[in-house]
Structure 1
Amino acid sequence: MLRVEEAARELGIGRSLAYQLIRTGRLRSIKIGSRRLVPRSAIDEAIARLLEEER
């Protein structure tokens, strides 16, 4: 599990864009207490989804 900031860094995007992707359902995340966390597997899924959208 990654914090949103860490997930954004791995994707090479900013924190606000990562939150936008989460809000739109393009980046999977879960909420535990007050923390929003991104599963590591969601990073690869988001990359694959973004590549598909480019076609």
Structure 2
Amino acid sequence: MDHNDSPSHTEDDAWPEIEERIIEQQSTKVDVVSEATESYIGIKEAVEDDISKAQ
């Protein structure tokens, strides 16, 4: 399969959906957007870092 055969998610594409899931569930332990695992990991770490700084 060529990378052009299926859509892939970039961090910009994945962020709105992941953000919505984090807010709805009040947790960073959410289902990952398909093909956005690396973006999710970065977003999750950033959110957790921000939460720890706010406490």
Q: TM-score, normalised by structure 1?
A: 0.35
TM-score scaled to structure 2, two decimals? 0.35
